[in-house]
């Protein structure tokens, strides 16, 4: 009886571990033409190209970010780091608006990353990509 239970438990663990999806991690910072850390439509930081006010990152609204995005010579890849949203619907609306507006100014691909507590970019989990 114990051997049967142990076999069933092993099978259950094996099945569960095989069915869990792996997190895709971002590793294209060098190729990104634009990297934005987005909090709200009124508060974003452009990390690439670094947009500073003195020695600190400048706080930009979405329109200012898009004006800067238009001036980039390359428009292959834009990265938007999303900090926190309460509902999935809110997250989807934000992603949809960024894709629409960045595509309008010529970006070929937009990737969304889930923010972490630090400012690293490579290694962040990919939430979505429109390629």
**Over residues 45-62, mean pLDDT:** 96
Tell me the pLDDT tens digit for each residue of 2-49: 543 344 344 434 444 444 568 899 999 999 999 999 999 999 999 999
Confidence bin at 128 (pLDDT 50/70/90): confident
Domain spans of the chain?
25-129
How far is the C-alpha of 120 from the C-alpha of 88, rounded, in Å?
A: 24
pTM: 0.81
Q: What is the pLDDT of residue 4?
A: 36
Model pLDDT for residues 66-107, shown as the tens digit of each residue: 999 999 999 999 999 999 776 888 999 999 999 999 999 999
Q: What's the pLDDT at 17? A: 44
Q: Which of 116, 113, 117, 115 is nearest to 126 (CA)?
A: 113
What is the pLDDT, as a whole number, of residue 71? 96
pLDDT at position 86: 67
């Amino acid at each position: 009886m114990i051997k049967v239970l142990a076999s069933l438990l092993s099978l259950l663990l094996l099945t569960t571990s095989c069915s869990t999806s792996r997190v895709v991690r971002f590793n294209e910072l060098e190729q990104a033409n634009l990297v934005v850390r987005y909090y709200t439509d009124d508060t974003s930081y452009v990390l690439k190209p670094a947009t500073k006010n003195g020695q600190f990152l400048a706080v930009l609204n979405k329109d200012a970010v898009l004006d800067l995005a238009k001036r980039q010579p390359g428009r292959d890849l834009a990265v938007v780091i999303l900090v926190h949203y309460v509902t999935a619907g809110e997250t989807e609306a934000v992603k949809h608006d960024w894709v629409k507006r960045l595509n309008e100014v010529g970006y070929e691909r937009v990737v969304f990353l889930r923010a972490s507590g630090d400012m690293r970019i490579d290694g962040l989990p990919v939430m979505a990509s429109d390629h």
